[in-house]
Structure 1
Amino acid sequence: MKTWLITGTSTGLGRVLTEKLLAKGDRVVATVRKPDALDKLKKTYPENLWVAVLDVTDTAAIKTVINQAFTDLGQIDVVVNNAGYALFCSVEEASDEQIVHQINTNVIGSIQVIRAALPYFRKQGHGRILQLSSAGGQTTYPNFGYYHTTKWAVEGFCDTITKELAPLNIGVTIVEPGAHHTSFGAGMTTAPAMEAYENTPAGDVRRAIAAGTFPIKGDVDKSVQAMIDSVETSPAPLRLALGGDAYRDMRTALVSRLEALDAQKDLALASERGDE
């Protein structure tokens, strides 16, 4: 039996992950923003479900919740940074407040959850971090600029700390789902549309999403099971791509970037200082 701490468990992947773990006998510390979001689950699993109200933009609250969870449960094996959302608009359409909130939730919140857990992981001699990113942490789509900003940022952070934490027996896996049938789309925040972007790729994506013409083939149950299974893999896989669209879009982006880099090889080498 393992003990998990999962942020953002009211709906979506976080909710399904919580349900599957409880069904198999694991313990879960589940954070929510609405106090009654998991009342039914709590009645079904009164001994194995520990619920806390948490807004991940509140760093002090993050520290309080994680400190209390480790104190009450003694040990937490896996921390899953799942809380987050998408700001869906073109670059000019977002307000300053929306941009700050997107970054505070998806980046600062994730970083502070990890930082709060690390002293306990070090003390107990092991730990695993699952960081929810997205295929959009390696590729990009118009109208998701600020969301991509957060996912690319948190991937850079996690890629870095993997090297720092491996000697301490703390593993990190970046989870990169493609499109899945969850509440993600309904939870997107938008901004008033500007006519100037109507006939640009941003407008095309806006219309496609409104019309429901984006294919969504990701299987939530299978993807969540893959996340659970990854914790049993040692060493921890650095990245976990979930969904055919995630694989295809990320591979296309990576190949394109590599080709562009290789095309600049001579220029890059020529810009070195010669031996003196």
Structure 2
Amino acid sequence: MNKTWFITGTSAGLGRLLTERLLARGDRVAATVRRLEALDDLVDTYGDRLWVAKLDVTDAAAVHSVVDRAFAELGRIDVIVSNAGYGVLGAAEEASDEQIRHVINTNLVGSISLIRAAIPRLREQGGGRVLQISSEGGQIAYPGFSLYHASKWGIEGFVESMAKELVPFGIALTLVEPGPTATNFVSGVVRPPTMAVYDATPADDVRRGIDSGAFPVTGDAGKVVDRMIEMIEEGATPLRLTLGASAFDGVHAALQQRIEALEAQKAIAYSVELDK
């Protein structure tokens, strides 16, 4: 059965590829971009099955307006995909205050605004799905990506809490967590000016690894979007969908380390309870 999807950040990367594959299989897509001409070729091919709107997710009022218009013009929307986002590569000290605000406003606040705008509409229609594109970086952390991780760890906490709030309304949320995937993500990464004090440090090692190609990028973007589509088709509602061997292994190791560290502190944790 064909579905209608609403997807942000569709000019490139996973958002563009997901849009292409959904249209090719007969679904309808409401796609948002910052430049309308970015999807002209798909509009020419698919006509009114592709609804396009200009949107910068950092503009909360615009987010609500575009979401309301999409539901009004298209009727039922089955799946909301919060995909718009980007990365900042550099030690936290190297970034400007404006760079910090913008990545948080885009990846975190923008995603929150989109989900909040969609929820009343999904509730009114009796349910629906929300896919939040996160990352393995929502559960693990690399030096040099602290600001990106701040946004992804933040949206993971928001979605996990909100998923529990929305159970009574038939609305399921899933965090999609790809590992390093062959898209244009790296080309869109913002890079603050480097500070010499960070030369030959862990943050610099990651930066150099990315530039040299030594940092492994093994995920297939096509397979990532296929697994997302399959999940929706199957009706599965996992809180998290971790995609890629790197993501699975990295998150698994991080969770094990956290459990071990937590268990080592059990006596200390219990020691601060009120005396009975």
Measure, in 1, the Cα distance between the counterparts of 2:193 and 2:218: 29
Partner residue, 2:142: 141
Measure, in 2, the Cα distance between the counterparts of 1:235 and 1:157: 20
Partner residue, 2:257: 256
Alpha-carbon offset, residue 233 of structure 1: 4.1
Alpha-carbon offset, residue 44 of structure 1: 0.6
Partner residue, 1:172: 173
Partner residue, 1:205: 206
Contact 1:241 1:247 in 2 (8 A): yes
Contact 1:171 1:235 in 2 (8 A): no
Stretch moving more, 214-223 or 86-95: 214-223
Cα RMSD for the two superposed structures: 0.8
- Structure 1 residues 163 and 235, CA, compared in 2 at 3 Å: closer, same or farther? farther
Contact 1:102 1:150 in 2 (8 A): yes
Q: Secondary structure at the match of 2:166?
A: helix
Alpha-carbon offset, residue 274 of structure 1: 2.5
Q: Secondary structure at the match of 1:75?
A: coil
Partner residue, 1:267: 268
Residue correspondence of structure 1 range 41-80 to structure 2 within 5 A? 41-80=42-81
Whichever residue aligns with residue 123 of structure 1, its letter is E
Alpha-carbon offset, residue 234 of structure 1: 4.1
Partner residue, 1:226: 227
Contact 1:28 1:49 in 2 (8 A): yes
Alpha-carbon offset, residue 212 of structure 1: 1.0
Deviations 1:3-42 (A, max 9, x none): 0000000000000100010011000000011110000001
Residue correspondence of structure 1 range 1-276 to structure 2 within 5 A? 1-234=2-235, 236-275=237-276
Alpha-carbon offset, residue 232 of structure 1: 3.1
Whichever residue aligns with residue 220 of structure 1, its letter is A
With the length of structure 2 as denominator, give the TM-score of the two structures: 0.98
Measure, in 1, the Cα distance between the counterparts of 2:221 and 2:149: 22
**Bigger fraction of residues in helix:** 2
Measure, in 2, the Cα distance between the counterparts of 1:270 and 1:229: 48
Contact 2:242 2:248 in 1 (8 A): yes
Aligned pair count reads 275
Stretch moving more, 206-215 or 146-155: 206-215
Alpha-carbon offset, residue 47 of structure 1: 2.2
Whichever residue aligns with residue 202 of structure 1, its letter is A
Contact 1:87 1:190 in 2 (8 A): yes
Deviations 1:165-216 (A, max 9, x none): 1110000000000011101000000110000011210111111111111121
Q: Secondary structure at the match of 1:80?
A: strand
Whichever residue aligns with residue 146 of structure 2, its letter is G
In structure 2, runs of 5+ residues without a counterpart are none
Stretch moving more, 214-223 or 231-240: 231-240
Q: Secondary structure at the match of 1:139?
A: coil
Contact 2:206 2:215 in 1 (8 A): no
Deviations 1:67-107 (A, max 9, x none): 10000001101000000000111011000000000100000
In structure 1, runs of 5+ residues without a counterpart are none
Whichever residue aligns with residue 124 of structure 1, its letter is Q
